[in-house]
């Protein structure tokens, strides 16, 4: 039995040596880009007005997504909302564009992943309290089902981001290039 464990240890020590520090962050960034980049960009695109500075003119969709109850209370009139609502809508929309882009190119990846994690927590809170998502759709962990829209999916999203927070962007990143330039 000791020989079997010894072989097991040697095989996985080799795999760990070969994959080393590059594999997990590269896989995490690839997974984020393949699964979530377009999700967040498409969401952000629904929130911007027309023109080059459209991000400064959030659409009604922005307010419906971010402040559903406040927007309803304002009679679905965005001009009746406060400057705080406008500021949060603009900041949230910009975050949906900028943070995924930073992860894509691997620039300030750890900070961008922290920002995305916070974004996902806020998004989940708004889904629960503002949009009245049902308990079945919100889901629970350890229930035998792996398809809840919030608890299951977003745990996986945050797991990908946690790898980036801990490991950084990996070798194929602007972070790595900048780190090399700083050493010169």
Question: What would the pLDDT profile of 20-39 be if each residue is shown by its tens digit?
Answer: 889 999 999 999 999 999 99
Q: What is the DSSP letter of 24?
A: H
Tokens, residue 63: 């307010």
In the chain, domain spans: 24-183
Alpha helix ranges (H) inside the chain: 2-19, 23-32, 38-45, 60-66, 68-73, 83-105, 109-129, 135-138, 151-167, 174-183
Question: What would the pLDDT profile of 132-172 be if each residue is shown by its tens digit?
Answer: 888 777 888 888 878 787 888 999 999 999 999 999 999 99
Q: How many C-alpha atoms does 105 have within 13 Å on its Cβ side?
A: 10
């Amino acid at each position: 039995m000791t020989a079997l464990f010894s072989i097991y240890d040697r095989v996985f020590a080799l795999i760990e040596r070969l994959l080393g520090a590059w594999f997990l962050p590269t896989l995490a960034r690839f997974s984020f880009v393949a699964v979530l980049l377009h999700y967040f960009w498409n969401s952000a695109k629904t929130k911007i007005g027309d023109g080059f500075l459209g991000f400064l003119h959030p659409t009604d969709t922005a307010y419906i997504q971010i402040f559903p109850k406040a927007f309803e209370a304002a009679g679905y009139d965005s001009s009746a909302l406060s400057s705080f609502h406008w500021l949060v809508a603009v900041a949230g929309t910009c975050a949906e564009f900028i943070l995924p882009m930073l992860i894509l190119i691997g620039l300030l990846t750890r900070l961008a992943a922290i920002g995305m994690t916070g974004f996902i927590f806020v998004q989940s809170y708004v889904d629960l309290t503002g949009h009245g998502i049902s308990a079945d759709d919100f889901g629970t962990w350890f229930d035998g089902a792996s398809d809840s829209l919030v608890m299951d999916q977003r745990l996986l999203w945050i797991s990908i981001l946690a790898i980036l927070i801990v490991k950084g962007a990996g070798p194929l990143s602007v972070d790595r290039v900048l780190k090399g330039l700083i050493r010169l």
